[in-house]
A and B are shown apart, each in its own frame.
Chain A
Amino acid sequence: MPPRLRASRFSSAVVARSPTQPQSTSQPARVSREFSQTSCQQTTLRRRKFYEWLNGPGSALREPIPGSTNYLGAYDRYGNLVRAGPGWSRKSPTEPEPEKQLDEETSVNEPSPEKSGEEKLEGQETIDELEMSVRREEESKKKTKTDESDKLPPETAQDLQPFPLNKWFRSQPVLSEELREAIYQRVHKGGATVSLASVEFGVSNERVGAVVRLKQMEKEWIAQGKTLALPYARAVLGMLPTTPHVDTSRPGNRSKRPITHEAINDLIVHPATRQQLFVPVAESRKFTREDAGKAFDNQLLPADARIPHPELIQAERELASGLSFEERKRLATERIAQEQAKKTKEEEARQADLRAQKRVPQRRWDFVFKDVSVDSVGRNGRDPRGVGWRYGFPHEDRKKGQVKIPTKVEA
């Protein structure tokens, strides 16, 4: 009697292989029993093709390329890396690779905004010319430093597509370790507001807040002596495109500008503006953005008020009106002070509200007494803000099928 075939035959064969050795495709020809529930154990055409692809074009994707991304979009049908020069060859893992540079800026790979003519479509952030020139300069420096043939050129937009069929999605750079540290230091030690740091580093407001929060937690972990996932972090950041940190305070970087990570002035498309409108307007009339907003929806504010950084517009206007530097600085500090005062006032009001509540501490939970009003149930008595049991409005929260997943968690 022949030995029984195990169901995990394939996986066990694959697990035990070394990275260089191709995965096995050899399967004994075996007639599957009729009326059997066991799936076909023969090497089918599909399976053969699968392993052919895996050992051929797919074998390049198994291990990451050191110092670069390794996505499916960077390869052609035959598994050749498109952007690689003729002299470039993938180093085998046993042989040491001398391509990692220690220089801080050059070791961090950055995506190149260079695109061929047909790839123009991909660029979604408005990278202005100065930015482009800075990046190109760094690239050229890199190129002159090492000879071209055996060095991998920086990724194009197509190389950053993990899904070759979806050209509308690509792997966008993440913040590098140094940039995160710099943002944290700027906000935490330098005392910059979130919006100021956002403008300085070219990182959106929310991301600045998140970076500071996460960094704070990381520092706490280090202070507590917890084990960080360092090997994981190093490996992941090596696989992803990252935005490097250009430290302008260093003497070598005087002429450079920090590289913008993302667009910071994103305007959310308001649902009211999704429709097409034909509004007849007299030619003599000055029809501004504000009027256009009103035409769509009476509540709709103009873009100037809805973008995350309206203070930049104000600063630009002051610059255009020809005010002196001191004057502009004074106005900016005034604005910041006003904003701060408003914020502190709001915070105080919130704290006062909290203090007004009566609180009875218990072992696990506190009793909190709040003022309620019977009118909050609304006219028809069905408003969810209403309290207590109401006639004709059953409590269903203990019933089967009711969703009990919380909708928010207080930070």
Chain B
Amino acid sequence: MRKKPRFHSLKKLKVRQDWSRWSLYSISQLKAPDLVRRTYFQQKWTAKSDTRAYHGEQIREKKWRRMFKRNLPAVVPMDHKYLARYDGSEQAAGRGAGVDANEDKRAPLATPYMQMAYFPIERRLDTAIFRSLFASSVRQARQFCVHGLVRVNGKKMPYPGYMLNPGDMFQVEPSSVMFATGARKTRTSTGRRIAKEKATERGTALSQTGQTPPPPTQALPQQPIREEPTPTELKKHLQSLMHDVEDVLIADVKAKDKQKFRAFRQTVRKAISLWRTANPETISTLDTQLAFLKTQVAKASAAAASTPSSPSSTSDDDPAGPLMSPDDQEKLKSAFEKLRFESQHASAWNAKDARLPYATPWRPRDYMAAFAFIPRYLEVNQNICAAVYLRHPVARPGLAEVPTPFHQETGQLAFNWYLRRR
């Protein structure tokens, strides 16, 4: 039996509708067709075969030939001000008398009709799912449909070949979308072994200790008696705190910026431990930490203001009044807000969870950014993994809405192939 050809072959480079590095490499190696040394039929054949490997590769050729339409849709953006001012007669007026002879008009942009040859395929449900970035390949989108993870207008649609109508809303199961677009889980034998060992350890520990693990009763160590912080000390600590606040404010809630948040938490804890009334157990939540810091700083600044003859206020810097200016306080507050959001984000939405089929915390898969675009005929809401098919893709002056990686000549040749006059 003849071997099935590879889907991604380096011998015959074909661009496929997926986010793989093979496709990226093929796109980077694409060239304009050779129009000189080959016969017209050869050119058309190659163009057809290359474009069909990308557009609707999962559809049989006969089916596609029935879908093909020679009338390609296009729009022209109109200017309502022009339409209001002129009725169009000025374009023809005086033409016979040579009015427009010496008039140099800028040529309007060409409408790239020939890049639209495969527009009927964009109407298919599986392609639309791929285009709205819910699946990493059309084949995966197709699988989502077949597995019943896709709904059209709220009803389950198991047919990947369903032709979307303008206004149809389709939604994909968010967990599947996260799986399809997320980085893959690394499943190494070492990782598996470690997980297994840990599980057995836990099991043996549980069986040895008996049915009830003893509650962690630790005697609270005697709190060391500390002095109230001196104003200079306080100032120094506050400065470092504000430095961390700045860091947190510019940080984004991502896995990379975790260390900033962690550092901020550390400094906050340190700043609180300055006061002897502070007890790390009682002041553990973010809210209490913020409130505590505020009251203590206000108290300290008030005290410093009442005793202007304190030994440290000899120099020109004034520790008394602005230990914390109002906008600094604002900043501190927003930093705490961000910290809370981050912790929520990490715990509820993007937590580490070994049971999920993708790498956690979630991050986009490799090379996704190079393929991430959403055509204008779709309106996507990523939060709920739903999208609306607004209208059929159109060509407009200077722009074709069908995403195709090929040269315009290739598109034209492929279109000519399907005109059935070869």
Contact = CB atoms under 8 A, between A and B. Distances in A.
A171 B382 contact: no
A287 interface: yes
B361 A239 contact: no
A63 interface: yes
Given A283-B96, A410-B153, A240 B89 contact: no
Interface string A179-219: 01000000000000000000000001011011101110110
B361 A218 contact: no
Interface in A227-284: 227-237, 239-240, 262-263, 265-269, 271, 274, 281, 283
A57 to B, nearest CB: 7
A169 B379 contact: no
Interface stretch (B155-163, B207-215, B265-273, B307-315): B155-163
A269 B83 contact: no
A210 B388 contact: yes
- Kindly state the interface size class of chain A when it binds its partner: 35 or more
A268 B75 contact: yes
Interface in B176-213: 177-178, 181-182, 184, 186-188
Interface string B94-119: 11110000000000011010010000
Contacts, number: 307
B305 interface: no
B36 interface: no
A158 to B, nearest CB: 13
Given A168-B398, A170-B399, A96 B251 contact: yes
A47 interface: yes
Given A214-B169, A230-B350, A239 B73 contact: no
A302 to B, nearest CB: 8
Interface in A279-329: 281, 283, 286-290, 292, 302-304, 307, 309, 312-314, 316-317, 320
B162 A50 contact: no
B350 A240 contact: no
Contact of B381 (A163, A214, A227, A230): A214
Interface string B77-92: 1111101110111001
Contact of B162 (A218, A239, A286, A406): A406
B252 A66 contact: yes
B364 A239 contact: yes
A124 B30 contact: no
Interface in A62-83: 62-66, 69-72
B349 A217 contact: no
Contacts of A162: 370-371, 373, 403, 405
A263 B376 CA distance: 11
A54 B21 contact: yes
Residue from A235, A262, A263, A265 with most neighbouring chain B CB atoms (10 Å) = A235
A352 interface: no
B64 to A, nearest CB: 15
Given A62-B366, A162-B370, A72 B166 contact: no
Contact of A168 (B256, B381, B408): B408
B404 A262 contact: no
A336 interface: no
A210 B379 contact: yes
A236 B372 contact: yes
A71 B369 CA distance: 7
Contacts of B386: 214, 217
A269 B379 contact: no
A303 B369 contact: no
Interface stretch (B280-288, B322-330, B389-397): B389-397
Contacts of A307: 78, 80, 83
A96 B251 CA distance: 8
Contacts of B404: 163, 166, 169
B186 to A, nearest CB: 6
7 contacts: A58-B21, A123-B109, A124-B397, A169-B115, A320-B84, A407-B163, A407-B165
Given A46-B10, A217-B381, 11 more contacts: A62-B366, A169-B115, A174-B380, A209-B388, A214-B388, A229-B174, A229-B384, A267-B77, A267-B78, A269-B76, A304-B83
Interface of A: 15-16, 37, 39, 44, 46-47, 50, 53-54, 57-58, 61-66, 69-72, 93-94, 96-98, 100-102, 121-126, 162-166, 168-172, 174-175, 180, 204, 206-207, 209-211, 213-215, 217-218, 221, 227-237, 239-240, 262-263, 265-269, 271, 274, 281, 283, 286-290, 292, 302-304, 307, 309, 312-314, 316-317, 320, 405-411
Kindly list the 7 A-B residue pairs having the minimum CB-CB distance in the complex, ordered from nearest. Answer: A289-B88, A316-B84, A233-B382, A171-B373, A64-B369, A210-B388, A263-B77
